[in-house]
Amino acid sequence: MNINLTRLAPLAAFTLACAALAPAAQANEQPFAYSYLSETLPAKAMEVEQTTTLRTKKSEGTYRLWQSRTSIEYGLTDRWTMSLYLNNYSVTAENNNSAASRKNFTASGDGDEVTGGGPVTFGSYVPFLDKLPLPTSRYAKRDFESVSVESIYQLMSPYNDALGLAAYVEATHGPKVSELELKALLQKNLLDDQLILAGNVALELEREKWSGVGTEKEAKLTFSGGASYRFAPGWRAGLEVVNERGYHGHSLSSGDRDYSAWFVGPNIHYATARWFATLTWMEQMPWASAYSDAARIELVNGRVYKSTEKTNVRLRMGYSF
């Protein structure tokens, strides 16, 4: 896999240096990069978290999207954590649409493609064809995206109850995006907390203007989960699975289905009493489903590339005060 991880290198080096110097502990663990635990910060505790995500590879050409989320989290009570995020991005794309889309597709009026053929260069954060030169185009931009406010309230504790359960709400607003995300966070600890199981169900309602052809509405229903096993003091390894389902508009009816994509990959996690770091590598599996015309034309070798990529890499780091 030819992926440039240069932007992850400084954070990875920091992680390894701290791992060599700091004593191990299991406080405030976040062993998954994509799935949340049901645990919350203690009252009046504070944590700074940095999440860096690389989304790369369409069916052909070049596509790299770096997403950065910097947050400060505060424990209002032992069960309620509030967070504030600053979100930024950097995208590079060139001639990455499928050959079928460029040559054969005629839009059905959903606004995702252009009549007479799809854009040669496309993807999240990339404007549509009329904003780019032909026949091939390179698009690159780095910018501020949005601000997010997040609230997590723990309903059941994984240590005191049979199952950990928390409710998650996140509101996002920026110049070109508005989003409301609702999640149910499940957690089960086994073997004296040596094994952690997590499961999330998320609903996202989005309004975006990235295409340059007006406001688009989209809903996403995402199921994610994983298992993380402590194999040494402070160290965990595990596996995460994500199923992302896209819908046209803000409806989850079968008639508005757009696509369904599956991602699977390993993760590695290290935690001390003050900080943690988690790295996850996710690959899209070749059993995606496409329901709309725009998604079918981007279904290549069993993977759908309309709103997703082949490879996702995420590094999540946090420091508690």
What CATH number is attached to the domain comprising 126? 2.40.160.40
**One-letter amino acid of 277:** A
Task: Determine the 3-state secondary structure of 225 from DSSP.
Answer: strand
Q: What is the pLDDT of residues 269-305, one digit of tens each?
A: 999 989 999 999 999 999 999 999 889 988 999 999 9
**Measured between alpha carbons, how far is 139 from 246 in angstroms, rounded to an integer?**
25
Query: % helix / strand / coil in the chain, to the nearest 5?
Result: 10, 55, 35
pLDDT band at 183 (very low <50, low <70, confident <90, very high): very high
Q: What is the pLDDT of residues 2-13, one digit of tens each?
A: 444 445 444 544
**Measured between alpha carbons, how far is 314 from 316 in angstroms, rounded to an integer?**
6
pLDDT reading at 22 higher than 70? no
The closest of 119, 317, 98 to 210, measured between CA atoms, is 119
Q: Return all residues near 219 (Cβ < 8 A) that are at least 6 apart.
A: 203, 204, 205, 206, 246, 247, 248, 249, 250, 251, 252, 256
Q: What is the pLDDT of residues 230-270, one digit of tens each?
A: 999 999 999 999 999 999 989 899 899 999 999 999 999 99
For tokens 């329901």, the residue is: 291
- Residue 247 dihedral angles phi and psi, to the nearest 5°: -135, 145
pTM: 0.85
pLDDT band at 119 (very low <50, low <70, confident <90, very high): low
The closest of 25, 101, 114, 13 to 58, measured between CA atoms, is 101
**149, two tokens:** 């406010």
pLDDT score recorded for residue 240:
98
The closest of 89, 69, 73, 80 to 39, measured between CA atoms, is 80
Average pLDDT, integer, range 11-25: 44
**Measured between alpha carbons, how far is 282 from 4 in angstroms, rounded to an integer?**
15
The closest of 79, 4, 94 to 39, measured between CA atoms, is 79
Q: Is residue 1 part of a domain?
A: no
pLDDT score recorded for residue 28:
60
The closest of 274, 283, 282 to 317, measured between CA atoms, is 274
Number of domains in the chain: 1
Domain encompassing residue 102: 6-320
Average pLDDT, integer, range 167-180: 96
Q: Is residue 110 part of a domain?
A: yes
Q: How far is CA 240 from the centre of its chain?
A: 12
Q: What is the pLDDT of residues 55-97, one digit of tens each?
A: 999 999 999 999 999 999 999 999 999 999 999 999 999 988 8
pLDDT band at 168 (very low <50, low <70, confident <90, very high): very high
**Measured between alpha carbons, how far is 74 from 236 in angstroms, rounded to an integer?**
25
pLDDT reading at 204 higher than 50? yes
Omega before residue 233 within 30° of 0, cis: no
